[in-house]
Structure 1
């Protein structure tokens, strides 16, 4: 489902269960499955978002992937409002990135990131801003 004002780049694929609220932007070569993007959320190019809830005004950098399958079950990722997900971040479900939190480029998020905190590294660790 796409609400008004949604912009989707070429070669992107919306699979069943995708819901894009008003003003969402999806870049090129992105796949969205069983996920909801709240109003104003942005997803860069070359990404995969499955089994996730993306909050309002979230910016997800190019190459971001939700790693939602553990070999047995599909697990959910949650990115709360106003979070900034750096390019090439891997969100290893189940995981929540809190409101206003930031992940550094290339981070592998395996544990929840508290609101307004910065997570960097492989695996990611919380650091001072």
Structure 2
């Protein structure tokens, strides 16, 4: 009796060819009774932030004593604060309203880009004051 052994060569690909098309956003709370109060809280915080920033931007050019470089820098910072809060909050409130917990990669990358850009501009504006 003769046994013949043949070597079998298997090549395994170590590459991962899966593509991530979207992210699932985790909830702050799984309790349905907290969705309403959280929606109201986030909406109020966003509206107060927008009202304060846009009010500052509109009031500075109107006041005669407020037409100095310091107040124009404050107006620029208010514009950046408006951009930061707007870049983040819409998806959170949409998640509470519609239950939409999925965000595509391109939309997430765009939101991250704008948030990073506004934060960078804010740091550049604040750097000379330090």
**Shared fold per TM-score greater than 0.5:** no
Place the TM-score, normalised by the shorter chain, in its bin: under 0.3
The structure, 1 or 2, with the larger RCO (C-alpha pairs under 8 Å, 6+ apart) is 2
TM-score by length of 1: 0.22
Bigger helix fraction:
2
TM-score by length of 2: 0.22
Query: Of the two, which has the highest radius of gyration?
Result: 2
Bigger strand fraction:
1
